[in-house]
Structures are given as structure tokens and as C-alpha cells.
Amino acid sequence: MSTRYSAVAFLVIVALVAGLASSATPADPVKVAFVDPLSGPFAATGENGLNQFKYAADGINKAGGVLGRQIEVVPLDNKVSPQESLIQLKKVIGDGIPFVFQGNSSGVAHAISDAVLKHNERNAGNRILYLNYSAVDPALTNDKCHYWHFRFDAEADMKMAALTDVIAVNPKIKKMYIIGQDYSFGKAVAEGAVSMLGKKRPDIQIVGNELHPIGKVKDFSPYVQKIVASGADAVITGNWGADMVALAKAANDGGLKVPFYTYYAASDGVTAAIGAAGIDRIRLVHESHPGNPNAPKALSDYITGYRKLHPQNDINQPRINTALNMLALAIKKAGTTDVDKVAAALEGMEYTNLSGDQLVMRRQDHQLQMPIYISVHTNKNIKHDLDASGFGLSLETKVDRDKATQPTTCKMQRPT
């Protein structure tokens, strides 16, 4: 009797487990890891990035997801530390997540890129893909390029070329001051600025070329005084996050009234900190239409929808939407989440982003080719403000894709 009962019970359990397993498979989400700072001085930047990823994923999921599966963003805090990132990467690999997004800090990007390359060489059946949405050190798609890294933001030199074009036609600028964070990206900005200004406007004197530790400076007043003392007519900076907020505040307080040419002087508290003092003075180079004036409808709706969910945050990285959608398209095209096939589908992929621009993922180095926009900080004709401050960015110059492109030294090794 008892054996028969236990046999029945066993069969019931087997059936239940099998039923659970089979019903779980189609609903299994496609996981993508988000490895960026969610604590410490740069938490605001990371948190807003994560929210934009979730928002972009919601959009894809509402439209049916990919291969009938939902996209799930798995946040992992790396505290902008290369060491922490490698620990998180181990977790990503252990959990079997095939896609890793990271963007904040090129220093971290190099660490992840190296680790992913090594992992993929040794684990052919269990590869992962590194999708870089924001780290713009040119080396990542030049000397250090590899097949498993794709970049969706314009690299620093593409942006610097556009910025220096604008500076070159401004005859008032005779003395330039460059200030940045002391790591690979800050150095890349400084090198790019010096070499490109040297070609386009050899008469401009570089009166300062300063690097300060990243995330460690509390008060930028001494730096601002140094800029004033140098007699600079303009400043170039690649600062981001808390370092940009503090620099903007100190410049306002110190009465530094010269134009600033920046990479990241908007959102996450920066726009609010600059306020009225920065009108028509702070310029920013980026990869998307700034939303003002006359934003394309798709972008405008996207910004409005996000603002409803996160009244304090902005869509300051529309490339996040591009990156996630291009990945989703590649998965659809490949018909699988197998990394080798998805990477092959991403290479050379064309995509139209929210700004209505035609983008293409260059095969040669996996650098997304795109137009570059330069915008100015203002409160006139601002439909989509930033930091809920009434101030925002307004489009001034657009450099077309074929003009913005930069050569690469990448010699891509493809898997055989």
C-alpha cells in the first residue's frame, strides 16, 4: 500500500516539477546586467542611468519583448571601481547573464573590456558581450579594440572634433584652459583638445592643462582662481557627475564668466547648479538632439513619458534607448541570445534612433557612427528642461554622421 502511495506521490511531484519547468521556460526573461555606480559620489549618475535602462526595457517589453521573452535589467553596483566591477562581472558570469552594460568611467571600461576578452577566449561556449553605452576613451575602439565590445556613445575624439570646430570659428578665443579628471578619459580629452586646436587654430594658446583626482575634490574654488589667474578666454572640461556640479558651482561663485565647452555639464544636478549664470555660456557636446527647440516627436514623447515616472531625473543619455533597442534587434535577427550570433548581428547594423538619425555600427572597430550635436545652456524656448530647473539645452550646431566620423587604428581579431 505504502509503496503504491509513494509511487503515486512521486509521479505527482515529477509531473508538477516538469509542469513548472515547462511553463517557466517561455516566460524566462532575457537578462541584461547593468554594472555602474549605485553608491558613492557618482551614485546620482548611475541611478539615473539605471532608470533610463528600465524605462527603455519597459518600452521594448510593452511592444512584445524579444523572441516572446521580456527584458530584465539586473543592477549591480560597482562604485566606479575597476576592482568592484571585476567582482560584479564574476557574478554576471556565474548567473549566466550574457549581456553586460557599463558606461560610467573609461577606467572601469578598460578593466571590464580586458576581463570580457580574456573570459571569451577561454570559454568559447559561455561567452558574454560588453555593451558600452557611455565610456568614451578613444582607445577602447582603437588600440584596445576587440570583437566583444560595442560602443553606442560617440568616442571623445568625435566629440572633440565637433567642439574644436565650433571653437575655431570664434575669433574671441585666444587662450584656452583645459581641466579634467585624472584618468584615461580626462587625459584623452586633454590630448584631443591640444592636438586638434593645434591644427585648427594654432594661434590659440593653451594656458592651462590641469588634471585633478576623480571624485576627491571638495571645493573647486582654488582651481577656478587658477583659471582666472591664467587669463583664459574659454575652458574645456570633460568633468562629469559630482565633479562637474562642484566645478560649475565654484565657477559661478568665483565670478568666472568665460565660456565653457563641456562633455557632461547637464542633468543630475549640474543644470540646476549652473542656473542663470550659465546662460549662453555653457556648451555641451553629445550624441542626440537635446530636446529643444522643436524636438522630433518620438524623442519628445519619450522624454515626457520618462519625466512622468521620474520627475527629478532627465533623459540625459538617449543612447541608452539606442543601445538596448539595437541589442533587442540583434537578438531578434539572430533568433537566439547566443552571444556569438548576437555579436555577428550587431556588426554593421543600421538603426534609426529617437532623434531620427540613421546610425550604423561600424564593423571595423564596433564604434557606432552617428551625428554629433552641440547645445547651449539656456532658459529660452525650453520645452524639456533639466533637473526641473527651468533651464535646459538648446540645439546650436549639428555635425552630420559622415563629417563626425573619425578614423580608427583598430585591427579587429574575429573569432574563428
Summarize as ranges the residues that interact with other proteins (CB under 8 A). 38-44, 47-48, 182, 210-213, 215-219, 221-226, 228-229, 231, 242, 245-246, 249, 253-256, 268-269, 272-273, 275, 312-313, 387, 389
CB 137 within 8 A of CB 170: no
* Smallest distance, other proteins to C-beta of residue 136, A: 22
In the complex with other proteins, the residue whose CB is nearer, 182 or 347, is 182
Q: Which helix (H) or strand (E) holds 352?
A: strand 350-352
In the complex with other proteins, the residue whose CB is nearer, 225 or 336, is 225
In the complex with other proteins, the residue whose CB is nearer, 74 or 228, is 228
* Smallest distance, other proteins to C-beta of residue 325, A: 25
* Smallest distance, other proteins to C-beta of residue 311, A: 10
Query: CA-CA distances (angstroms) from residue 199 to 161, 192, 196, 223?
Result: 11, 11, 5, 27
* Smallest distance, other proteins to C-beta of residue 257, A: 9
* Smallest distance, other proteins to C-beta of residue 39, A: 8
Q: What is d(CA 396, CA 401) in angstroms, rounded to the nearest whole number?
A: 16
* Smallest distance, other proteins to C-beta of residue 393, A: 17
3-state secondary structure of 17: helix
Q: What is d(CA 274, CA 200) in angstroms, rounded to the nearest whole number?
A: 29
* Smallest distance, other proteins to C-beta of residue 186, A: 11
* The C-alpha cell that represents 73 in the structure block: 535589467
CB 77 within 8 A of CB 39: yes
Q: Which helix (H) or strand (E) holds 109?
A: helix 106-122
Nearest Cα residue to 33 out of 84, 98, 105, 109: 98
* Smallest distance, other proteins to C-beta of residue 194, A: 16
In the complex with other proteins, the residue whose CB is nearer, 47 or 287, is 47
In the complex with other proteins, the residue whose CB is nearer, 125 or 311, is 311
* Smallest distance, other proteins to C-beta of residue 367, A: 30
What Rg do the C-alpha atoms of the chain give, in angstroms? 23
DSSP 138: G
Q: What is d(CA 58, CA 42) in angstroms, rounded to the nearest whole number?
A: 25
Length of the chain: 416
* Smallest distance, other proteins to C-beta of residue 414, A: 36
| Cα-based angle 137, 143, 146 (whole degrees, multiple of 5) | 90
* The C-alpha cell that represents 134 in the structure block: 557611455
In the complex with other proteins, the residue whose CB is nearer, 207 or 298, is 207
CB 13 within 8 A of CB 55: no
Which residue, chain included where needed, has cell 517561455? 26
Q: Which amino acid is at 344?
A: A
| Cα-based angle 311, 281, 318 (whole degrees, multiple of 5) | 40
In the complex with other proteins, the residue whose CB is nearer, 228 or 349, is 228
**Which stretches of 262-379 are DSSP H helices?**
270-274, 297-309, 319-334, 339-346
In the complex with other proteins, the residue whose CB is nearer, 128 or 224, is 224
In the complex with other proteins, the residue whose CB is nearer, 241 or 371, is 241
Q: What is d(CA 122, CA 386) in angstroms, rounded to the nearest whole number?
A: 45
245 Cα distance to chain centroid: 18
In the complex with other proteins, the residue whose CB is nearer, 313 or 353, is 313
